[in-house]
Structure 1
Amino acid sequence: MTEGIPADEVPEQLAASPAGTVTAAGVGVGNTDDGGGHEGVDEYDTLLAVLGRSHDDDERIAVHEAGHIVVARLLGHPLGGATVDPGPGYEGRVWGEGHVEAFTNGRGDASHVREAIAPLMPKPGEDRGSVADVFGSVYDQCVELMAGRAAERMLLEGEPGTPVDDLRQARELAMLICTSEKSIETFIAHCDVAAWDLLLPYGDVVTALCIVLRIKRTLDGAEIDKIIADLEARKAVAVEHRHRADWRKRVSSANSFQAGWAE
């Protein structure tokens, strides 16, 4: 989640505008011609003015959330949706299936998870078999939380800002399985690297999701999966075409060799 402005500082125009009224007609496009020889108002620039964002800030938020999306799906976590529009306490966020109700009821934070699970965690010397899934879940969730900054590092220039809320939630979860400040910091640092490793082969997917998010602003889980599936399908076709072209070259070379040998 990209931490953002408090709810009471969200521009009134955004809160008052009907859903879909202000959308990004084009990413990175300047003033447009309305067909009558007059320059029309760029809806994307209008949206950014309402949000109080620059183009660079909007791109950063979209890359950040796209990183969360890709790592979540790589780890097999189904998603409910994602948005790059601000809300109470965030500039953009990604949520899992069934998490909307939890957030609405004020219990979707990692601190609530830790408070609920901490009393169930085994003491030193006690069997951990019954909570092995908790250790695995904490690891996956912390890698996912670090994915936003990893995506920024991968695709944007300069060192990204500190993802305060992502780090806070990762610490809350890490406290379930770590027993010292040093172990918490080391664990989170490892998750940071693990997120980078997961994202590295999928920079094109992060980029595609970033572009679509900046245009549509909000995607549901089905839309996210379709974008990823379509892109991966096109990549598979391109790979197959390259393989066939390479095979044709090999066959041609073999035929030329045989013809030369026969002479």
Structure 2
Amino acid sequence: MSEGTPAEDGNEQPATSVGGPGAAAQVEVGDNGSGPDGETDEYGELLAALGRTFDQDCRIAIHESGHIIAARLLGNPLGGATADPGPGYEGRVWGERHVEAFAEGGGDASDVRETLASVMPGPGEDRSSVADVFASVYGHCIELAAGRAAEHMLLGDDDKRSALDDLRQARELALLICKSEGAVESFIAHCDIAARDLLMPYGDVVMTLSIVLRIKRTLDGAEIDQIIRDVETRKALALEQRRRAEWRKSELAAARFRVECEPLPAARSRHCSHDQAS
């Protein structure tokens, strides 16, 4: 979730190519749709109403898209996402069954920590009964770190202020399994790296999703999954077309080689006949 403090003013440009098959996501910050007569388009009017610049809106959409892709890669279904602001946030992603919790003000990590802290095992106590809690904390902290990872991957930096709430919630969850401030910091640093590694092969998907999110403003879970499927299908098709083109080149090269080699047996036969006659 992008925290309520908008990104820093400036000319940040989401124009970073992400490596990987079919990945070439580049966006330039330029004309935002104003016509030659200087009239502001609907998107410009929306940004003005939200109090955002174009660069800030791009950053927020990329941030939320990082959360989305991380959640889906970790196998977590989503209820939806929005790039529009609300109470205490600039953008938000929510789980399939978390809408009611958010509506009742109970979807925060602090609520989770308060509920579970009393049942977490102490030193020497069996932890098998809460193994799922450890796994859930780990996965969710990676999701929380993925917004910053997406910003760094596609923008070349990450605005800490846009991720203050993510960091706060990650710390709340980390305190369930970490016993010291140093352990919390190390755990969050590890989750930052894990989120980056998770997203890196899917930079083109993050970029595509962020563009659609900026256009539609809010997406439900089914729309998110369809966008991901479309991008992955196009990538697979491009790879298959390239594979077939390479195979065709190999076939043509083999055919040329065969043609060049065919006269050799006849020449060798004539040479042998000449030797026998001698």
CA RMSD, 1 decimal: 1.7
Deviation at 1:114, TM superposition (A): 0.8
* 2:84 partner SS: coil
**1:212 Cα offset (Å):** 0.5
The reply to whether residue 156 of structure 1 matches residue 159 of structure 2 is: no
Residue deviations 1:98-153, cap 9 Å, x none? 21110110100001011111111111111111111111111000000000000000
What SS class does the counterpart of residue 178 from structure 2 fall into? coil
CA distance in 1 between partners of 2:151 and 2:31 (Å)? 18
The reply to whether residue 101 of structure 1 matches residue 100 of structure 2 is yes
- Count matched residues: 239
Q: Distance in 1 between matches of 2:208 and 2:31?
A: 14
* AA in 2 matched with 1:193: I
Work out whether residues 83 and 92 of structure 1, in 8 Å CA contact, stay in contact via their aligned partners in 2: yes
Residue equivalent to 1:47: 46
Once the 2 structures are TM-superposed, how far is the Cα of residue 159 of structure 1 from its aligned partner?
4.3
TM-score (norm 1): 0.87
* 1:1-263 alignment runs, 5 A limit: 1-4=1-4, 29-32=32-35, 41-162=40-161, 163-263=163-263
Following superposition, the deviation at residue 160 of structure 1 comes to: 2.4
SS in 2 for 1:233: helix
User: If the length of structure 2 is used for normalisation, what is the TM-score?
Assistant: 0.82
Q: Shift of the alpha carbon at 1:205? A: 0.4
Q: Deviations over 1:132-179 (max 9, x none)?
A: 111111100000000000000011144423411000000011111111
1:178-210 residue CA offsets vs partner (Å, 9 max, x unmatched): 111101100000000000001111110010011
Contact 1:28–1:55 (CA under 8 A) maintained in structure 2: no
Q: Which has the larger radius of gyration?
A: 2
In the alignment, the residues of structure 2 paired with residue 5 and residue 194 of structure 1 have an alpha-carbon distance, to the nearest angstrom, of: 25
Q: Which 5+ residue runs of structure 2 have no aligned equivalent?
A: 7-29, 264-278
**Percent of aligned positions that are identical:** 65
Deviation at 1:71, TM superposition (A): 0.5
Deviation at 1:28? 5.4
Segments of structure 1 that go 5 or more residues without pairing to the other structure are 7-26
Cα–Cα, structure 1 residues 60 and 210, in superposed 2: closer, same or farther, change >3 Å? Answer: same
